[in-house]
Chain A
């Protein structure tokens, strides 16, 4: 890494440390830029963008009490993928012990990267978490969306279908009406 660039990245790392932001993503982005042969000025812009995303995620997550380093990195990833700060905040509010914010945000960012629009992404993650399904079901959502897309379904429709399926777990079960009366097909 050129000395001038390394110096500028070091300054950003110091700022990140002062704000308790994870520094590894900044170093990764600088190394990536060098590996890809990008000019130093462009690398610095990219690293500053990552810094801004980490800072924005930390600010939003701090207000919801979910500002672990993993969650901040996941939030920054979700912002980079195309979600808004308000989406990050909502997902962090929905997250719970069984569905940590970092995992929910990684899933949301990946869904957005697949092309699922923001509204459908947040709705799918929200409904899946509120349905009480295990975290493995949340983690597998991007794979399910991609499988549906491979079958010809647009990303939004794929996500909406999965959200309806998850919402079915939320619907209250009808109470029994007595023997032979609840099932119209029973003789």
Chain B
């Protein structure tokens, strides 16, 4: 059974408010919400290498099958194929295999690290890995033009104890603006990416993605 909390209680769960800041009539609901949150299993999820190998085999077979169909009847193939891959395919492949296929940059330790771009898996989008060094953060999220600036949809995962947070997304080809959101309230630019004024007294980072070259800043 799902339950809808009051928006202020949701802010409490997001760490944007403390229990004492809630109005008296919401204190009980806030305490209950915190109690439920503490019961959630927060252990890191890991996947076996056999699962990753199985998923990659399936991905390669699908890519080869699409190529064969396109080659056998290009006109019919174009008519049949949708312009974009269903989001659940991208999400399922990423979630199941923990793939990090694309780019960062050799950094100073404060920005993304660069690896070679993957060969195109999905023609209309490219996987991009985002990294942020934030050892003191309790949570980090990513917000940008690719997710309608909603940090709730793209949390980063902390890698071990080194203070590095990461997420890998499939981004449509083109140019995107983004920022990291630390602990639900601090908007931080990517130190290893170009930045432009956001019109609100801060800056946004910029990432450009091409199908042929992956992330190109």
Contacts and interface: CB of A to CB of B under 8 A. Distances in A.
A38 B145 CA distance: 17
A139 B210 CA distance: 9
Interface stretch (B84-92, B156-164, B199-207): B199-207
Given A77-B175, A106-B208, A142-B208, A136 B187 contact: no
B197 interface: yes
25 contacts: A28-B149, A31-B148, A31-B149, A31-B150, A32-B143, A32-B149, A35-B143, A35-B149, A35-B150, A36-B149, A36-B202, A42-B199, A42-B200, A43-B200, A46-B199, A70-B174, A77-B175, A77-B196, A106-B208, A109-B196, A110-B217, A113-B206, A139-B208, A139-B216, A140-B216
Interface string A142-180: 110010001000000000000000000000000000000
Contact of B194 (A45, A46, A113): A113
Contact of B206 (A46, A110, A139, A140): A110
B145 A114 contact: no
Contacts of A29: 199
How many A residues touch the partner, as a band? 20 to 34
A139 B217 CA distance: 9
Interface of A: 28-29, 31-36, 38, 42-43, 45-46, 49-50, 70, 73-74, 77, 80-81, 106, 109-110, 113-114, 136, 139-140, 142-143, 146, 150
A143 B149 contact: no
A143 B216 contact: yes
Interface residues of B, number: 30
B170 interface: no
Given A139-B216, A146-B217, A32 B198 contact: yes
Contacts of B106: 150
Given A32-B204, A42-B199, A136-B212, 19 more contacts: A31-B148, A31-B149, A35-B143, A35-B150, A36-B187, A38-B200, A73-B175, A80-B197, A81-B196, A106-B175, A106-B208, A109-B206, A113-B196, A136-B213, A139-B216, A142-B216, A143-B105, A146-B194, A146-B217
B212 A28 contact: no
Contact of B208 (A33, A49, A50, A110): A110
**A interface majority secondary structure:** helix
Given A77-B175, A110-B208, A45 B213 contact: no
Contacts of B196: 77, 80-81, 109, 113
A50 B204 CA distance: 14
Nearest to A81: B196
Contacts of A106: 175, 208
A142 B150 contact: no
B151 interface: yes
Contacts of A49: 199
Contacts of B198: 32, 36, 46
A33 B187 CA distance: 12
Contacts of A113: 194-196, 206
Contact of B145 (A28, A110, A140, A142): A28
Contacts of B150: 31, 35
Contacts of B217: 110, 142-143, 146
Interface string B122-158: 0000000000000000000001010011110000000
Nearest to A106: B175
Nearest to A115: B194
A54 B31 CA distance: 48
